Amino acid sequence: MKNNQLRIFFTIGLISILLIGCAGGIQNDPSLPVVNDVEEIQPSQTETKEDDSPVEEVSLATEMDAAPAKFSIKADPGLQEVIAGLYGSYFEGEVPLYVDENPDLIATGASATREGRPQVQPTFLPDAVLISETDNIDVNNFISFAISPDGQQVLIDMGALPETISLIDQAGNQVEIQQPIRRVISAYGPASAIVYSVNGWDRLVSAAYLGARDSHGAAAMERIDPRFPDLVGDAYFSQQEFNLEQAATLEPDLIIGSFRSAWIDTVKELGVPLFMVEAETPQQLRDAVLMTGQLFGPNSQAQAQAWVDYYDWVIENIQGQLTGILPDEKPSVLFTGTEASRVVSGDMYQTNMINAAGGISASAELSGYWNNINIEQVAVWNPELIIVPPYGGASVEAITESPEWQIIDAVMQGQVFLMPKLVVPWDTPAPDSVLGIVWMAELIHPDRVELSCAVETEFFYNTFYSYGISKGEITAICTHE
């Protein structure tokens, strides 16, 4: 009995010890989670989610708020700031998208190459150009803005262009001119032609025009510039007349005229800068074009330089093709004026044109401007060719049908020709005269001169007037009849 009780007591004690050991093992097993551990871990998981969530929201907001770029731009590093200023101004605070490859627009330094016919790129800063790589209308509109007076003003405000420029005009006067020029009166026909050729035509508020008084010239000028009927100001502004009242209503910020104008002192009453030009020699014409380009800003400067390069290229081409020609192979050429008995002098631009084309001016010995002569003098010169201007009522028939002119070789041989013109007569000291040189060179030396009047006419009006001249117009102009 006693032994059974001991065995029972021992068994109960052993079971108690085992139960206590198991309970302790369960509590100390780190692989099993406890309530306290879960409570500590849970805030950590929540905190991680809170950190990730705002990052995603900011990224989405940025993508939604930023307007997509209108086009991509590859810009030289030194040009990116000014491009951003122009872009933000035109597209109301937007920022440009710069890329390294496959851009829609390139902003880069201008090429220094000046060989052959020039290729003019839109120029927004001196020696910095914009090159479109697409037909995107936003690109083209942006380029137009960048080279416009409004674009110039943005660049002036950024300090990239000057607020004023100071030039010495061809009368020797120093002229201070506020930039950008927006409203111009040109009271001198050759100056108006220069303004068009340097792409400053959109700043004109009134102008005197060469060759636009006849119906054909006026129609052609209106095709070139549809504003022509409203701009033509020959009744108010010329070398002889300047209507102060009319000028005041136009509120010009620049007046361009000839230094031989009769009204120079009078016009000073307006308090408007007056810039005088003179282009009776090839060098004066070059200088007049270059200075006019400076008046209108970087794009016009580039256009002006392109014209000078083209002018020099044409003359060098012709002279090169006439290398080795003997003096007696150069024909005598008489250039007459509004009347058959009125001829150019050796001081006039037309004489330089004849020389450049490979001829010899019959009246080179004369001085001054237009000279009146008699038929006896013409007989002494006995020119081989006679060229008549396309203005002032002059005509080939006035010479060829005159009995007294029948003794002249040029008349007997049918070598009397009318100088061409689209609007501006090709013999006047204006940019178009480069075509007159080509036309004369073809006429005088058809077997030697390789330049084509047709080719150069198409290039010239497309490049310097932005006018797509038709094949019919070219054929009518370049004839030698």
pLDDT in tens, 460-470: 999 999 999 99
Place of tokens 């150019």: 344
User: What strands lie across the sheet with 184-186, from one edge to the other?
Assistant: 204-207, 184-186, 254-258, 274-277
471 vs 324, residue with greater confidence = 471
Inform me whether the pLDDT recorded for 215 exceeds 60. yes
Least confident span in 30-44, 241-255, 274-288:
30-44
Residue 66 has a pLDDT of 54
The yes-or-no verdict on residue 9 having pLDDT over 60 is: no
Give the tokens for residue 253. 């910020």
Whole-structure pTM value: 0.85
DSSP 336: B
Using 50, 70 and 90 to split pLDDT, how confident is the model at 176?
very high
The residue that leads in pLDDT, 280 or 334, is 334
Judge whether 289 and 304 are in contact, CB under 8 Å: yes
- Cβ atoms 410, 444 nearer than 8 A: no
> Amino acid letter at 112?
A
Structure tokens given for 333: 């050429």
**H or E segment at 276?**
strand 274-277
What does the pLDDT read at residue 17?
39
DSSP code for 473: H
Helix (H) or strand (E) holding 350: helix 349-356
